[in-house]
Copies of this chain bind each other. A is one copy, B any other.
Amino acid sequence: MVPAMPSKPYLLYYWPSIQGRGEFVRLLLEDAGAPYVDVARQPPAEGGGVAAMLKLLEGAAPGALAPFGPPFLRHGNLVLAQTALILHWLAPRHGLVPKAEAARLHAHQLQLTVTDFLVEVHDTHHPIASSKYYQEQQPEAKRRAAEFLANRLPKYLGYFERVLRANGGKFLVGRGHSYVDGSLFQLVEGLRYAFPKAFRALEPKVPRTLALADRVAARPRLAAYLASGRRVPFNEHGLFRRYPELDAG
C-alpha cells in the first residue's frame, strides 16, 4: 500500500550544522528510506552549501512561492516550507500517516502543537531576539526558562501523554507508527539533552511517552540513522541547547 519511491531524490534545504527544525524532516525521510539530498551539507562545487539555500530563499525558483525561512523541500516544481506542512505532505507518500482524512488532520494538528512547543523551547535561550547572542539576553533567559520548566514543559508533555493514553497508549494517531510519533521521539531527545535535570524529574509522569521514544529509536532505519554520521550532534547553536544555568536546580 506504500506508494512507489520517487524516481528523483527530494532536495532538503536546512542549516547544515544543527538539528533544529530540519531534523523533523530528516527523521521522516530516513524512516521512510526515501532518497534525499541534504543540499546545504553538500560541497559548494556540487551545487551545495549554505549559499545554495540562501539563493532559493531569495526567490530564485521560478514560479514557486519563496519560503520565509528554512527548512524547505524541493521536489520537481514544488518548493514547500514550514516543517509541519512538509511532513503533512510527505507522510502519505511514504505510508507514515494513516490514510483516513480525519487521522491525517489529527496528525497535522499534533505536529502544529509540536511547532508551537519548539518556539517556546527556542525562546528559553532567546527570549529577546534571535539576532542577538544568548549571552546578551541571559538574565531574561533565566527568567523565561524557569517559567518554561515550571509551567509550559509539564503542560505540553502532559498533553502528549494524555493523547497517547486516549489513543490506546502506543501511538499518537491511528493504530500504528506515524511521523508524529517520530516527532515526539525527537522532543524527548532534545529535552533530555537541553534540560537533563528537569526532564528526569518529569519522567515518572510520562511513561507512555518514554516507551514510545524507545520504540521509535529501535525502528531499523532510524536506529541506523541515529548511529550514523548523518545525525548532526546536538550543540549550542541549535534549538535545544544545554546551558546548565537554565536547567532545574
Contacts and interface: CB of A to CB of B under 8 A. Distances in A.
A123 B127 CA distance: 9
A56 to B, nearest CB: 14
Contacts of A245: none
Given A85-B108, A127-B140, 4 more contacts: A65-B110, A66-B159, A82-B113, A127-B128
B128 A65 contact: no
B85 A109 contact: yes
Nearest to A131: B151
Give the dominant DSSP class at A's interface.
Answer: helix
22 contacts: A65-B106, A65-B109, A65-B173, A68-B159, A77-B102, A78-B105, A80-B109, A81-B109, A82-B112, A82-B113, A84-B112, A85-B105, A89-B105, A112-B112, A119-B119, A127-B144, A128-B147, A129-B144, A129-B147, A129-B151, A131-B147, A140-B140
Given A82-B109, A127-B127, A59 B140 contact: no
B105 A128 contact: no
Interface of A: 59, 65-68, 77-78, 80-82, 84-85, 89, 102, 105-106, 108-110, 112-113, 115-116, 119, 123, 127-129, 131-132, 140, 143-144, 147, 151, 156, 159, 162-163, 166, 173
